[in-house]
């Protein structure tokens, strides 16, 4: 309770720096006690340019413009229309994208204030930010208060998105957003839109309908394009809380006008949020409105935009202009806002990013509607677009089904795997394990063979690419292990002999699964030569492979590997002998915990390592011989946990220290 009250005071208090310090606070709430009057009142303050001294008219009207909706959750509020921000240099941007405010003063956005019904309307005016006679904010306390309201909205959005708020705090936050959402400073209203979107996800549906939706309607029609742009990102959160009919109505009324907005930034914002807006209809029986899908797909005649030809031509013209070369003068045709929306240079990347969400909403049966747009975008050579498409291939295949995936997506995978850009290859290889099983038998075999050919040719220059292949080997073995085990074993050996430790560790971690899938005898013949390699790193890899397989409780492989491990107990490299000592101790602990007899080979290895010249090697096996012949179990050794062979650990504590801890 105290935590929630403190949260309200901090977050909301930042936005009330311009209010009187002696305002009475209601119990358990930071909002003034007189916030919600018993009767709805609308107070209109005349514009300062028309009247040097504001004249106040008070009247009762349940349908007054700008009045807040009344519900059991929110009592009526008082709305004050203040001088338009267009008259203030401190609150209005000097931009060609800013539209003039042609609405009447009664419908223009003003600051929402809360007043005690017992106070006269003239007593409310001092709580407004100070204005000079020209209507501009006083540069002292007024600017500081505006920054406080901005910070309050930013903090409120973060707290709402990441915190656990009780009903009282949500109640207080909504009322504060309603107030600040009518602020005379445009960049404060813009920040309120983000808080609005965060609150729409957590408050009751009644509050969304009666309080947040009316505020959103005001913000999306704001005279400043900055506010309209930010309001777009609150739209998906609100749509997700509405019933199908209301969702369809609000989506069309919001997206269609904003997609033809006079501001290019607003039009681009409408395109960016379009995929998320469409996804809010994924559970509706009728799906998303046709108009929204058409806006997302674009026009057929704009293929040059989707496949990147337009962007290439624009880039070449720009380079020529930098070099000072004359370009042929072409007649400039003014574009309509709608044409500009469809030819936005960011459209291919935005559509590529949102394609899985739109495809999931429409379903696999409607893939033909999206197919041509997807294929056009796949021809685009922009690296960011190719990375995005490659990363989403597996999810797209799940959505549209194996038949469509094999026809339309397989080519994109091959194109990505052989790309010059390392990140594109990495994205494509990262989804290989999930993507390959969805292909037909012949294509699966060709894809796995292509991975081996590319690795042998040195095409996968980035270690993350090779690590992705190593991690996918277990899944690939399940898909094609019976058809081409020799190819998978060759890939495994490439991974085990890689120069980068992360690649080797990824391959070692899946060895137990591959042992059962590909056949242990063949894998043993592949791995055994590593124990005799000239490079000590390969010998250490063999020891780690042996530890991974021998300490797996499902496999009984001591007879397979102990002869080779015994030879490495005399290795010239201390690191190899340390690995053997760790393996020997792990095997002894496993045997003692399971009650199985300890093999003579294992005891011989431990005895040899106990007299090793290196004290570190001795530390790993110290006391093991004594415990091996002890009549009791569990007193001399630490509990037998499966170790992580790819990570070096400290030597175990001395035996005397263990005995002292037990006693």
- Mean per-residue pLDDT, 555-569: 83
Which of 183, 214, 237 marks a domain boundary?
237
Question: Do 444 and 555 belong together in one domain?
Answer: no
Contact 47, 84 (CB under 8 A): yes
The overall pTM is greater than 0.85: no
Contact 251, 234 (CB under 8 A): no
Q: What share of the chain is helix, strand, coil (3-state, %, to 5)?
A: 60, 5, 35
* Residue recorded with tokens 């597996």: 394
Q: What pLDDT does residue 190 have?
A: 96
- 529 within a domain of the structure (yes/no): no
Q: Any residues with CB less than 8 A from the CB of 216 and at least 6 apart, and which?
A: 193, 196, 231, 234, 235, 238
Q: What pLDDT does residue 326 have?
A: 55
Angle at 506 between CA 501 and CA 509, to 5 degrees: 120
Q: What pLDDT does residue 53 have?
A: 36
Question: Do 212 and 252 belong together in one domain?
Answer: no
Question: Do 168 and 218 belong together in one domain?
Answer: yes
Which of 221, 237, 253 marks a domain boundary?
237
The end-to-end CA distance of the chain, in Å, is 49
Q: How many domains does the chain have?
A: 4
- pLDDT band at residue 79, thresholds of 50, 70 and 90? very low
- 495 within a domain of the structure (yes/no): no
Question: Do 30 and 177 belong together in one domain?
Answer: yes
Q: What pLDDT does residue 335 have?
A: 81
pLDDT digits (tens, 9 = 90+) for 2-11: 567 766 767 7
Strand-pairing partners, residue 43, are 58, 80
Which of 211, 237, 263 marks a domain boundary?
237
Question: Do 344 and 466 belong together in one domain?
Answer: no
- Mean per-residue pLDDT, 45-55: 37
How far apart (Å, rounded) are the C-alpha atoms in residues 169 and 186?
26
How far apart (Å, rounded) are the C-alpha atoms in residues 498 and 493?
8
Give the DSSP letter string of 30-43: SSBTTSS-SS--EE
Q: What pLDDT does residue 294 have?
A: 97
User: Would you state the structure tokens that stand for residue 398, as one six-digit string?
Assistant: 């799940």
- Mean per-residue pLDDT, 546-556: 79
Question: Do 398 and 476 belong together in one domain?
Answer: yes
pLDDT digits (tens, 9 = 90+) for 464-498: 999 999 999 999 999 987 889 999 999 999 999 99
Contact 106, 81 (CB under 8 A): yes
Q: Per-residue pLDDT for 648 more than 70?
A: no
How far apart (Å, rounded) are the C-alpha atoms in residues 642 and 625?
20
Contact 227, 189 (CB under 8 A): yes
- pLDDT band at residue 320, thresholds of 50, 70 and 90? confident
Q: What pLDDT does residue 237 have?
A: 97
pLDDT digits (tens, 9 = 90+) for 574-589: 999 999 999 999 888 8
Strand-pairing partners, residue 58, are 43
Question: Do 356 and 210 belong together in one domain?
Answer: no
Contact 429, 469 (CB under 8 A): yes
- 517 within a domain of the structure (yes/no): no
DSSP reduced 3-state for 131: strand
Contact 68, 79 (CB under 8 A): yes
Farthest-apart Cα atoms in the chain, separation? 104
Domain containing 260 equals 242-318+339-379
The DSSP bridge pattern shows strands 56-59 and 112-113 to be: unpaired
Q: Any residues with CB less than 8 A from the CB of 155 and at least 6 apart, and which?
A: 10, 11, 14
User: Would you state the structure tokens that stand for residue 158, as one six-digit string?
Assistant: 């973060």
How far apart (Å, rounded) are the C-alpha atoms in residues 127 and 110?
14
Helix (H) / strand (E) containing 252: helix 244-259
How far apart (Å, rounded) are the C-alpha atoms in residues 410 and 402?
10
- 510 within a domain of the structure (yes/no): no
User: Would you state the structure tokens that stand for residue 314, as one six-digit string?
Assistant: 């624009």
- pLDDT band at residue 50, thresholds of 50, 70 and 90? very low
Contact 18, 141 (CB under 8 A): yes
How far apart (Å, rounded) are the C-alpha atoms in residues 311 and 322?
17
H-helix segments, 462-573? 463-480, 485-496, 501-509, 511-518, 520-527, 536-550, 558-568
Q: Would the CA dihedral through 319, 323, 326, 329 be positive or negative?
A: positive
How far apart (Å, rounded) are the C-alpha atoms in residues 347 and 342?
8
- 372 within a domain of the structure (yes/no): yes
- 632 within a domain of the structure (yes/no): yes
Residue burial 405-444, b: 16+ Cβ < 10 Å; e: rest:
beebbbebbebbbebeeebbbbbbbbbbbebbbbbeeeeb
Angle at 224 between CA 216 and CA 305, to 5 degrees: 90
- pLDDT band at residue 327, thresholds of 50, 70 and 90? low
Question: Do 390 and 370 belong together in one domain?
Answer: no
Q: What pLDDT does residue 3 have?
A: 67
Strands, DSSP E only, in 236-345?
Answer: none
- Mean per-residue pLDDT, 278-288: 96
Q: What pLDDT does residue 139 have?
A: 56
Q: Per-residue pLDDT for 105 more than 80?
A: no
How far apart (Å, rounded) are the C-alpha atoms in residues 214 and 220?
10
Question: Do 196 and 293 belong together in one domain?
Answer: no
Q: Per-residue pLDDT for 196 more than 70?
A: yes
How far apart (Å, rounded) are the C-alpha atoms in residues 178 and 80?
12
Higher per-residue pLDDT: 472 or 334: 472
How far apart (Å, rounded) are the C-alpha atoms in residues 471 and 469?
5
How far apart (Å, rounded) are the C-alpha atoms in residues 476 and 444?
9
pLDDT digits (tens, 9 = 90+) for 62-76: 333 344 444 444 444
- Mean per-residue pLDDT, 150-160: 91
pLDDT digits (tens, 9 = 90+) for 115-127: 343 433 333 333 3
- Mean per-residue pLDDT, 649-660: 50
pLDDT digits (tens, 9 = 90+) for 573-626: 999 999 999 999 988 888 887 777 888 888 999 999 999 999 999 999 887 776
Percentage of residues of the chain with pLDDT beyond 90: 57
User: Would you state the structure tokens that stand for residue 566, as one six-digit string?
Assistant: 């015994």
Which of 72-81, 141-150, 574-583 is the least confident region? Answer: 72-81
Q: What pLDDT does residue 586 have?
A: 87
How far is residue 448 from each of residues 422, 465, 503, 596, 620, measured CA to CA in Å?
19, 14, 18, 41, 42
- Mean per-residue pLDDT, 47-68: 37
Q: What pLDDT does residue 125 have?
A: 33
Q: Per-residue pLDDT for 305 more than 90?
A: yes
C-alpha 459 chain-centroid distance? 30
Q: What pLDDT does residue 47 have?
A: 38
Percentage of residues of the chain with pLDDT beyond 70: 72
Main-chain dihedrals φ then ψ at residue 137, nearest 5 degrees: -70, 140
Question: Do 390 and 287 belong together in one domain?
Answer: no
How far is residue 354 from each of residues 250, 350, 392, 658, measured CA to CA in Å?
21, 6, 10, 59
Question: Do 252 and 314 belong together in one domain?
Answer: yes
What is the residue-averaged pLDDT of the chain? 79
Q: What pLDDT does residue 93 have?
A: 53
Q: What pLDDT does residue 568 have?
A: 94
- 540 within a domain of the structure (yes/no): no
- pLDDT band at residue 354, thresholds of 50, 70 and 90? very high
Mean pLDDT comparison of 399-408, 543-552, 632-641, highest-scoring range: 399-408
Contact 4, 166 (CB under 8 A): yes
How far is residue 253 from each of residues 230, 248, 289, measured CA to CA in Å?
16, 9, 12
Q: What pLDDT does residue 314 have?
A: 80
- 498 within a domain of the structure (yes/no): no
| Closest-CA residue to 141 (of 153, 130, 150, 128) | 130
Question: Do 465 and 374 belong together in one domain?
Answer: no
| Closest-CA residue to 102 (of 265, 259, 246, 262) | 262
């Amino acid at each position: 309770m105290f935590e929630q009250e403190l949260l309200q005071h901090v977050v909301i208090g930042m936005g009330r720096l311009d209010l009187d310090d002696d305002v009475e606070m209601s119990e358990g709430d930071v909002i003034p006690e007189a916030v919600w009057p018993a009767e709805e009142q609308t107070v209109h303050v005349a514009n300062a340019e028309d009247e040097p001294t504001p004249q106040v008219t008070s009247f009762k009207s349940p349908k007054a413009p700008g009045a807040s909706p009344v519900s059991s959750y929110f009592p009526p509020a008082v709305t004050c229309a203040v001088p338009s921000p267009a008259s203030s240099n401190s609150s209005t941007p000097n931009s060609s994208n800013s539209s003039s405010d042609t609405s009447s003063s009664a419908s223009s956005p003003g600051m929402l204030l809360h007043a005690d019904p017992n106070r006269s309307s003239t007593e409310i005016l001092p709580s407004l930010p100070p204005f000079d006679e020209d209507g501009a904010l006083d540069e002292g306390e007024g600017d500081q208060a505006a920054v406080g309201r901005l910070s309050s909205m930013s903090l409120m959005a973060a707290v709402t998105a990441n915190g656990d708020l009780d009903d009282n705090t949500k109640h207080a936050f909504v009322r504060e957003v309603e107030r600040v959402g009518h602020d005379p400073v445009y960049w404060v209203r813009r920040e309120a839109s983000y808080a609005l979107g965060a609150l729409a996800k957590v408050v009751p549906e009644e509050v969304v309908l009666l309080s947040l939706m009316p505020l959103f309607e005001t913000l999306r029609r704001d005279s400043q394009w900055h506010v309209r742009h930010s309001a777009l990102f609150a739209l998906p959160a609100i749509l997700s809380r509405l019933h199908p009919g209301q969702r369809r109505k609000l989506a069309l009324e919001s997206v269609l006008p904003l997609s033809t907005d006079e501001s290019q930034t607003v039009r681009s914002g409408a395109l960016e949020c379009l995929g998320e807006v469409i996804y809010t209809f994924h559970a509706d029986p009728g799906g998303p409105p046709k108009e929204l899908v058409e806006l997302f797909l674009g026009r057929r005649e704009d293929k040059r935009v989707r496949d990147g030809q337009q962007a290439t031509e624009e880039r070449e013209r720009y380079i020529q202009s930098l070099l000072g070369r004359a370009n042929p003068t072409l007649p400039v045709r003014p574009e309509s806002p709608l044409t500009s929306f469809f030819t936005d240079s960011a459209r291919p990347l935005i559509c590529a990013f949102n394609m899985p969400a739109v495809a999931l909403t429409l379903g696999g049966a409607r893939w033909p509607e999206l197919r041509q747009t997807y294929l056009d975008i796949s021809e685009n050579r922009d690296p960011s677009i190719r990375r995005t498409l490659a990363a989403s291939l597996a999810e797209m295949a799940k959505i549209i089904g194996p038949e469509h995936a094999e026809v339309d997506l397989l080519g994109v995978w091959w194109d990505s795997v052989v790309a010059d850009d390392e990140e594109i290859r990495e994205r494509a290889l990262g989804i290989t394990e999930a993507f390959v099983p969805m292909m037909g038998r012949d294509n699966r075999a060709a894809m796995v063979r292509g991975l081996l050919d590319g690795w042998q040719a040195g095409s996968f220059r980035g270690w993350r690419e090779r690590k992705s292949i190593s991690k996918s080997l277990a899944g690939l073995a399940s898909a094609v292990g019976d058809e081409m085990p020799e190819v998978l074993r060759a890939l495994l050996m490439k991974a085990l002999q890689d120069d980068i430790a992360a690649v080797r560790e990824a391959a070692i971690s899946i060895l137990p699964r591959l042992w059962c899938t590909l056949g242990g005898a063949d894998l043993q013949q592949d791995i055994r030569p590593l124990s005799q390699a000239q490079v000590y790193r390969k010998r250490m890899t063999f020891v780690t492979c042996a530890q991974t397989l021998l300490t797996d409780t499902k496999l009984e492989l001591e007879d397979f590997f102990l002869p080779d491990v015994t030879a490495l107990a005399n290795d010239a490299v201390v690191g190899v002998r340390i690995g053997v000592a760790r393996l020997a101790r792990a095997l002894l602990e496993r045997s003692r915990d399971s009650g199985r007899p300890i093999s003579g080979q294992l005891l011989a290895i431990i005895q040899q390592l106990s007299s090793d010249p290196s004290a570190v090697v001795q530390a790993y096996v110290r006391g093991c011989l004594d415990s091996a012949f002890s009549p009791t179990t569990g007193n001399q050794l630490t509990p037998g946990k499966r170790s992580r062979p790819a990570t070096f650990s400290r030597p175990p504590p001395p035996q005397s220290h263990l005995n002292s801890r037990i006693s």
